[in-house]
């Protein structure tokens, strides 16, 4: 690795090409308006003073931490940085452990956790629920949602008049229930859970902190 001085007016170094490509990748991810190549070049010329100060410092410090992650360093080797170039001051401290929430005895999760289900192309809703309840023993799945849209609501589907409808939904492929597009390879679902065999039955307390579930087809 070596440093390379930014030069926007030399098209042979591909600096603007790189910024154009990465900037529009970000724009597409966040549904922002994409920019054409010449607009990127004009903006890059005006933003150099900002890039050469705080942005460059933060990018460098972040890159150092990413290198530590790739090298498998311990948590105590990482640093949180407070930076103020106006004073100037830079303070480094060891980061604390991520806060974990206990769902059940022996099952803890954090804000950064996500449960994953692989090879779900032929998986029905019933087998999806069974898979999760087997993997995370002690949990009982109640509701399954995609964004704000319900796929299965325990309170409604457990009504006596809903027996046939519940059976039909449970036997339906998850890919059909989630209405995924042909080019989509996964879907993110939200689930609610209670403790299995809770004596409160349908009135059992919903467990908070259950991570989202990413289902790969």
Average pLDDT score over residue span 123-148: 94
Average pLDDT over residues 38-43: 91
Residue 46: the pLDDT is: 77
Q: Could you tell me if 131 and 75 lie in one domain?
A: no
On whether both 119 and 200 belong to a single domain, the answer is: yes
| Residue 50 pLDDT > 80 | no
Whether 16 and 123 share a structural domain: no
- CA dist., res. 106 & res. 111, Å (int): 17
In this prediction, residue 18 carries a pLDDT of 93
Q: What is the pLDDT of residue 51?
A: 65
* b/e map 44-60, b = 16+ CB within 10 Å: beeeeeeeeeeeeeeee
Whether residues 89 and 140 fall in one domain: no
Q: Do 181 and 203 fall within a single domain?
A: yes
pLDDT band at 148 (very low <50, low <70, confident <90, very high): confident
Same-domain status, 82 and 111: no
Which DSSP helix (H) or strand (E) runs through 43? helix 37-50
Domain count, the chain: 2
Q: 135 with 29, same domain? A: no
Summarize pLDDT for 169-191 with one digit per residue, the tens. 999 999 999 988 878 899 999 99
pLDDT for residue 161: 92
Provide the pLDDT for residue 127. Answer: 96
Whether 108 maps to a domain, the answer reads yes
Nearest to 117 by CA among 174, 167, 195: 174
Asked if residue 129 belongs to a domain, the reply is yes
Asked whether residue 4 is domain-assigned, the answer is no
Q: Is residue 200 located within the same domain as residue 178?
A: yes
| Spatial CB neighbours of 53, under 8 Å, sequence gap ≥ 6 | 85
Q: Taking CA 88 as the corner, what is the angle to CA 84 and CA 92, rounded to the nearest 5 degrees?
A: 60
Determine the Cα–Cα distance for residues 64 and 53; give it in Å rounded to an integer: 17
The predicted-structure confidence for 71-94, as pLDDT tens digits, reads as follows 999 999 999 999 888 888 999 999
Same domain, 65 and 84: yes
pLDDT at 165: 94
Where in the sequence is the domain holding 39, given as residue range(s)?
11-93
Q: Which of 93, 119, 140 is the last residue of a domain?
A: 93
Tokens found for residue 61: 């410090």
Task: In whole angstroms, give the CA distance from residue 47 to residue 65.
Answer: 25
Q: Could you give the CA distance from residue 10 to residue 73 in angstroms, rounded to a whole number? A: 39
For residue range 8-38, what is the model confidence (pLDDT) as tens digits? Answer: 889 999 999 999 999 999 999 999 999 999 9
Whether residues 119 and 57 fall in one domain: no
* Average confidence (pLDDT) over 120-142: 95
> Is residue 96 scored above 70 in pLDDT?
yes
User: Is 57 found in the same domain as 23?
Assistant: yes
């Amino acid at each position: 690795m070596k440093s390379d001085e930014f030069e926007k007016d030399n098209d042979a170094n591909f600096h603007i090409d790189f910024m154009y490509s990465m900037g529009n990748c970000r724009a597409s991810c966040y549904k922002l308006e994409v920019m054409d190549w010449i607009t990127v070049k004009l903006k890059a010329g005006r933003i150099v003073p900002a890039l050469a100060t705080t942005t460059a410092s933060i990018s460098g410090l972040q890159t150092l931490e990413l290198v530590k992650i790739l090298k498998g360093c311990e948590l105590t080797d990482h640093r949180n940085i407070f930076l103020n170039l106006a004073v100037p001051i830079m303070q480094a401290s060891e980061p604390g452990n991520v806060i974990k929430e206990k769902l059940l005895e022996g099952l803890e999760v954090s804000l950064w956790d996500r449960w994953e289900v692989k090879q779900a192309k032929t998986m029905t809703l019933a087998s999806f629920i069974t898979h999760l309840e087997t993997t995370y023993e002690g949990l009982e799945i109640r509701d399954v949602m995609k964004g704000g849209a319900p796929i299965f609501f325990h309170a409604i589907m457990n009504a006596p008049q809903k027996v046939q409808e519940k059976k039909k939904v449970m036997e339906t492929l998850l890919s059909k229930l989630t209405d995924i597009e042909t080019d989509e390879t996964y879907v993110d679902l939200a689930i609610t859970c209670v403790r299995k065999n809770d004596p409160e039955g349908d009135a059992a307390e919903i467990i908070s902190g259950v991570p989202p579930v990413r289902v790969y087809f």
